Amino acid sequence: MISRRTLLAGFPAVLAAARTVAPPSPYGAVPSPRQLAWHELEVTAFLHFTVNTFTDKEWGYGDEDPNLFNPEKFDAETIVGALADAGMRGVILTCKHHDGFCLWPTKTTVHSVLHSAWRGGKGDVVRDISQAAARRKMKFGVYLSPWDRNNAQYGTPEYLKIYRAQLSELLTGYGPIFEVWHDGANGGDGFYGGAREKRTIDKNTYYDWPRTWEMIRAMQPEAVVFSDVGPDVRWVGNERGMAGDPCWATFDPVGEDGGAASPGNVRTKESNSGQRHASKWLPAECDVSIRPGWFWHEAENARVKTPAQLTSLYYQSVGRGATLLLNVPPNRDGLLAAEDIASLQGFGAYLRGTFTQNLAARARADATHVRGNDKQFGPAQLLDGRPDTYWATDDKVTSADVTLDLGRPVKLQVIRLKEAIRFGQRVDAFTLERWQSGYWEPLVSSTGIGPRRLIHLAAPIIATQLRLRITQASASPALSEFAVFAEAAPG
């Protein structure tokens, strides 16, 4: 028989157990830890640099003399410093573009810096950029073109061994890699060791991508792999830096003919918006160049995107839950052009000026529903700036409101919402309102929130209270942020 004493001793534990409210169950596809880390980067830089910089081309044929590559003032610290100052959190270098010229002293080919006059053949762009990035606490990633217009073996199984050996040199010799970038271009004609002919490969089978991806996983388990079909990050379907609205993080790629998809063979129209309820977490990355071309061309010095244009791209990419991969190509000196640096500075100043201070950080938050009435799922979690805490409702609730009382009239123009995406993309639609002398005035209604949704109002407004109405959700909402910002003057 259990004594009264034993019963009482066990009571607080029983009570505590009853009070523990479980987190929501995940809905649909969810991100992996490497994808979660990648989402946080928001803006990363692309560096397109190779013999093309010196030949004024966009696609080198593969017959270039390596001595052409001679960026006498190349300075990785200066380049990476300008990117870091603009708020970029990672940098991806074209270690090899379609011309096959390798920016590191590879053992796999003589078409490389090792055989150029630059620094007496002792230079290594990959080493210098990766080390400068590490010093600025930026992540480093590699672009290695599968198409190689220089290599005599291109098109045969032998080339795949070379491609994988190059990847292995990059993945083992230069510290942690955050992203491996495979583009889908396979243009056909090239030098190919002197053959000067057209070579066509089967995009679906030739590269045997699953085997290469396994290799990347083994060598750099934290790296995300980018291509038209992922497996971690998908191309957004255009090179203009624009994600669809909405841009779902879930996607099941389909080939151009409706069959199997592979890098270079995907219905890119669908890549732009993703698909609601698809089976894979495969978020979009928006690659775009600060100039018309990917490589530096003197004739384009006057056509560098302005800070206002970059800011607009930021809202159309990062603001829709994608990341922005902004290309800033070094010039023939091996430095960024003054025009590009000026634009980056303006863009960086705008981001810092706008997003440093969350005007709702000290607001009072109320919600119509709180999961298990438990404070750990309360709306205050939306304001603490932490990605791991969140407001959630009970499982059966699929529409709910959060009200923010800012305590005084506040001038604002940008609102940032984030779902707690480790539980999947749950919200389908929402409306944002402000309290306006006796009624709730709708400001905007939209579809999907996901990793990040920025609402950039056309003009500043004054508000004391804001209300977010989750009007439709496929599973009970779980949000990690509701932040409010004033807009800085464009840089």
Binding site for ligand FUL (CB under 6 A): 58, 183-185, 287, 294
Considering the complex, state which of residue 154 and residue 485 has its C-beta at the smaller distance from ligand FUL: 154
Please tell me the distance from the alpha carbon of residue 444 to that of residue 441, in angstroms, as a whole number.
Answer: 9
Q: How far is the CB of 82 from ligand FUL (least distance, A)?
A: 20
Q: How far is the CB of 177 from ligand FUL (least distance, A)?
A: 18
176 exposure class (CB count in 10 Å sphere: 0-12, 13-18, 19+): middle
Is 471 in contact with 399 (CB distance < 8 Å)? yes
276 exposure class (CB count in 10 Å sphere: 0-12, 13-18, 19+): middle
Please tell me the distance from the alpha carbon of residue 344 to that of residue 349, in angstroms, as a whole number.
Answer: 8
Considering the complex, state which of residue 255 and residue 372 has its C-beta at the smaller distance from ligand FUL: 255
Q: How far is the CB of 48 from ligand FUL (least distance, A)?
A: 6
Considering the complex, state which of residue 146 and residue 477 has its C-beta at the smaller distance from ligand FUL: 146
Q: How far is the CB of 227 from ligand FUL (least distance, A)?
A: 10
Considering the complex, state which of residue 292 and residue 442 has its C-beta at the smaller distance from ligand FUL: 292
Name, in order, each residue with C-beta under 8 angstroms of 11's C-beta and a sequence gap of 6 or more: none
Considering the complex, state which of residue 61 and residue 377 has its C-beta at the smaller distance from ligand FUL: 61
Considering the complex, state which of residue 60 and residue 451 has its C-beta at the smaller distance from ligand FUL: 60
Q: How far is the CB of 385 from ligand FUL (least distance, A)?
A: 34
Q: How far is the CB of 274 from ligand FUL (least distance, A)?
A: 20
- Whole-angstrom Cα Rg for the chain: 25
Q: How far is the CB of 180 from ligand FUL (least distance, A)?
A: 14
Please tell me the distance from the alpha carbon of residue 432 to that of residue 444, in angstroms, as a whole number.
Answer: 5
Is 169 in contact with 108 (CB distance < 8 Å)? yes
Query: Is the torsion defined by CA of 110, 112, 114, 119 positive or negative?
Result: positive
Q: How far is the CB of 327 from ligand FUL (least distance, A)?
A: 7
Considering the complex, state which of residue 187 and residue 442 has its C-beta at the smaller distance from ligand FUL: 187
Considering the complex, state which of residue 198 and residue 375 has its C-beta at the smaller distance from ligand FUL: 198
Amino acid identity at 448: G
Considering the complex, state which of residue 169 and residue 287 has its C-beta at the smaller distance from ligand FUL: 287
Backbone angles phi, psi at 374, to 5 degrees: -100, 130
Query: Is the torsion defined by CA of 272, 205, 63, 61 positive or negative?
Result: negative
Considering the complex, state which of residue 204 and residue 268 has its C-beta at the smaller distance from ligand FUL: 268
Considering the complex, state which of residue 23 and residue 184 has its C-beta at the smaller distance from ligand FUL: 184
Q: How far is the CB of 459 from ligand FUL (least distance, A)?
A: 35
Q: How far is the CB of 185 from ligand FUL (least distance, A)?
A: 4
Backbone angles phi, psi at 318, to 5 degrees: -55, -40
Q: How far is the CB of 96 from ligand FUL (least distance, A)?
A: 11
Please tell me the distance from the alpha carbon of residue 443 to that of residue 471, in angstroms, as a whole number.
Answer: 14
Considering the complex, state which of residue 233 and residue 412 has its C-beta at the smaller distance from ligand FUL: 233
Residue facing ligand FUL at closest CB distance: 183
Q: How far is the CB of 58 from ligand FUL (least distance, A)?
A: 6
| Beta bridge partners of residue 468, listed in sequence order | 402, 432
Tokens of 85: 């100052």
